[in-house]
Structure 1
Amino acid sequence: MATIRSLFATRLYRARLSEFGPDIDASELEGSCYSIAEDDEAGQEWCEKEGYPGYTSYASLTDLPWRFPIFGDLVKSLDQHVAAFAEDLEFELADKKLVLEDLWINILPEGGNHGLHIHPHSVISGTTYVAMPDGASALKLEDPRLGFMMAAPTRRKACREELKAFVYEAPAVGDVLLWESWLRHEVPMNMSEDDRISVSFNYKWE
């Protein structure tokens, strides 16, 4: 009898941020994101220069957890989520550990998007969601084998999730998603009239 197995799994971690403390007030976190965006002139200039819709602190602020206690609390929670995911991935970390490399705010207004990309030089990347109004875009994840499927027919529309070329993960406020940093992903256009707000981050092995 023939056997068929699934090989080379791509793992996606999803949990409530509150699963690991300390407790973080969502409205306070949202207010902090807007306050930082308003004061971050360097970040505003970078976004304008690079044509980034809305605001990101990616290229301007590298010390959010030090500047703002709420982001310090956020990192304490994220450290535990990342440790749980690393355990699921069965990483052999030896005498090293996964530590936060960078953490940044994303505010995408109506019509804003962020194209397909990876996070090089990191091990685990992720996002926690601060504001997801109706019509806000899901996270789009790309099958890492897609570029090698040179002559393959397309999949049936209702094929199993593990066989899809793209998976759309629709998070809720307070969710955290984690994936390995080599996995290509994007944020499609925000179709809501309100801002889609998230905090993204990378963890490195050292």
Structure 2
Amino acid sequence: MTRIRSLFATRLYHAPLSAHDPAIDAAELEASCYSIAEDDEAGQQWCEDNAYPGYTSYASLTDLPWRFPIFGDLVSALDAHVASFAKDLCFDLGDRELKLEDLWINILPEGGTHSSHIHPHSVISGTTYVAMPEGTSALKLEDPRLPMMMAAPTRVKDAREELKPFIYVTPAVGDVLLWESWLRHEVPMNMSEDDRISVSFNYRWD
């Protein structure tokens, strides 16, 4: 009897942020992102020096929950989502916990992209989506085995999702996506005239 199984799964967590308390007001979160971006001169300078399109607080601010209470509420909700994902992943955490390592704002204007990358030294990474205008870019996820497939033929266009080399996920405002930090991902070019706003984060095993 022939059996074919899928092995070594790559898990992706996709849920409404509101599935866990506390409730987050989307309009307030968006206004807070813009307010921080406007005042963060160090972040603006970093983006300019590094040719980063739009704005990110990744290299400048480490205290968003202290600056605006809504980010503290956001972290509380994210903690619950990450705990759910860790349970699904069957992690044996022992007497240690997954704790927030960093949290940052991303504002991508029309034409902005974020090239393919991973998040070293973290366990779980993710993003919650604050503004996703019509026509904006999805999140692109790469099969982690791809570098080892030097001699493999390409897949047919209608290949099953688990066999595709790239997966595109278009979340809605208020969604949260989580993945293991070794999973390579990118944000293709924002083709919308409006800003694509998200808040990304890493969790470490502490």
> Could you tell me which amino acid in structure 1 is paired with residue 144 of structure 2?
P
| Counterpart for residue 132 of structure 1 | 132
SS at match of 1:32: helix
- 1:89 alignment counterpart: 89
**SS of the residue aligned with 1:147?**
helix
Q: CA deviation at 1:69?
A: 0.2
In the alignment, what sits opposite 2:118? 118
Indicate the SS of the match to 1:61.
Answer: coil
Residue in 2 that maps onto 1:76: 76
SS at 2:35's partner residue?
Answer: helix
Shift of residue 98 of structure 1? 0.1
Q: Which residue of 1 aligns with 2:144?
A: 144
Residue number in structure 2 paired with 1:160: 160
What SS does the corresponding residue of 2:204 show, helix, strand or coil?
A: strand
Write out per-residue CA displacement over residues 58-102 of structure 1, whole angstroms, 9 at most, x where no aligned residue.
000001011110000000000000000000000000000000000
Q: Which amino acid aligns with 1:125?
A: S
AA aligned to 1:114 is: H
Aligned to 1:188: 188
Q: Which residue of 1 aligns with 2:22?
A: 22
How many angstroms apart in 2 are the aligned matches of 1:105 and 1:19? 21
Instruction: Give SS of 2:154's match.
Output: coil
Measure the CA separation in 2 of the matches of 1:39 and 1:65. 16
Structure 2: how far apart are the matches of 1:66 and 1:136?
Answer: 30
Give the 3-state SS of the residue equivalent to 1:92 in structure 2: coil
3-state SS of paired residue (1:30):
helix
d(CA) in 2 for partners of 1:51, 1:185? 19
**Cα deviations by residue, 1:97-122 (Å, 9 ceiling, x for unpaired):** 00000000000000000000000000
Looking at structure 1, the residues matched to 47 and 29 of structure 2 have their Cα atoms a distance apart, in angstroms, of 21
Cα deviation for residue 165 of structure 1 reads: 0.3
Measure the CA separation in 2 of the matches of 1:130 and 1:32.
Answer: 10
Give the secondary structure class of the aligned counterpart of 2:58. coil
Residues paired across the two proteins, number: 206
Q: Which runs of 5+ in 1 are unaligned?
A: none
Map of 2:109 onto structure 1: 109
In the alignment, structure 2 segments of 5+ residues that lack a partner are none
1:194 and 1:68 map into 2 onto residues whose CA distance is: 24
* Cross-structure match for 2:35: 35
One-letter code of the match for 1:21?
A: D
Quick one: distance in 1 between partners of 2:76 and 2:66? Answer: 12
Residue equivalent to 2:199: 199
- The one-letter code of the counterpart of 1:138 is A
Q: Which runs of 4+ in 1 moved over 2 A?
A: none
SS of the aligned residue for 2:76 comes to helix
- Between the aligned partners of 2:181 and 2:152, the Cα distance in structure 1 is 26
* 2:37 counterpart SS class: helix
**Residue 10 of structure 1 aligns with which residue?**
10
